[in-house]
Amino acid sequence: MALPMLKSAVACADFSKTVQPYISQLNDLPQQVFQSATSPQALKDLYLNTNPLVSAFAFSLFLAPIFLVISEINRNYSQVDRAWRPQVLLFTVTTPTYLLLLTSPIVTPDMTDMIFSQFMLVSVFLAFTADQQQWGILTVPALIPTNFQNAKKSYQSTAKVPPGSRFSARDLDRGFLTKGLWSLSRHPNFLAEQSVWITLYLWSCWTTHTYYNWSGVGAVAYMALFQASTWFTELITAKKYPDYKIYQQRVGKFVPSLVGGAIGELNDDAGEKKKV
């Protein structure tokens, strides 16, 4: 791969040394790919002679219209999905991996690297768990009663709590999930996702022996996007569900709250007390 020759970890975070010299490769890359399309060896040589960051950016540009078309076909109008995919935000949040690649011949991995990697794995697991509790990503029959949206949909169509469901009629009437990870955070999936990218960026800072570096732009943009999207989503949700304002008072938006009342699930009579 086309990588800069560097002698120190700090130099690996220098944009002028690690990125700027290779930006020009992006101009000729589409034509080179087209010319090499019929030859696997030529494509391999092109890959090896192109800076990996440039290759990743070009690939993200290639995928952007594909994701946009898929979102239109699936009618996925989620602000987060429609914003970060077409605008290549996913590429920017992963740029710290480029710095980790550059430091690999210079810095010897230690226990700190293990801690960073394990924390990222835990964050991925928590994001998956939160989405499973809310949406039911896995369609395993035994797990279907445990996710809120499937239970809510069944309850709305039959007026009966689904057999084996962990949710009560009051939970389903409330309209939004307040159990599991959602009893600690109003958006545990968003918290976990942001933790992944923030941890990755901090890992790059640690490895390059810098307090900050250019690869943090993606993490900052990602957090800003989630803040704006969450604010808008909660504005709509609070108008739709009367109990949601109580939920906002008791449970933190992202980080579990230590003020504003008890942390955890809403009492079944919360809504009734509010009405009195």
What is the full per-residue pLDDT of the chain (276 aa) written as tens digits?
799 999 999 999 999 999 999 999 999 999 999 999 999 999 999 999 999 999 999 988 887 777 767 666 766 555 445 544 566 888 999 999 999 999 999 999 999 999 999 999 999 999 999 999 998 876 666 665 678 998 998 899 999 998 888 899 999 999 999 999 999 999 999 999 999 999 999 999 999 999 999 999 999 999 998 899 899 999 999 999 999 999 999 999 999 887 655 445 565 544 444 444
pLDDT score, position 99? 98
pLDDT score, position 143? 61
pLDDT score, position 86? 67
Report the C-alpha gap between 218 and 216 in whole angstroms. Answer: 5
Q: Give the global pTM.
A: 0.85
Give residue 207's Cα distance to chain centre: 22
pLDDT score, position 240? 94
Report the C-alpha gap between 58 and 50 in whole angstroms. Answer: 11
Q: Is 138 exposed, middle or buried (CB count within 10 Å of its CB: 0-12, 13-18, 19+)?
A: middle
Asked if 219 and 225 count as a contact pair (C-beta separation under 8 A), the reply is no
Q: Which two tokens stand for residue 220?
A: 């900052």
Q: Is 220 exposed, middle or buried (CB count within 10 Å of its CB: 0-12, 13-18, 19+)?
A: middle
**Integer-rounded Cα radius of gyration of the chain:** 23
pLDDT score, position 85? 55
pLDDT score, position 272? 46
User: Residue written as tokens 């590429």?
Assistant: 91
pLDDT score, position 262? 46
Q: Phi-psi category of 271—alpha, beta or left, where left has phi over 0 and alpha has psi -120 to 50?
A: alpha
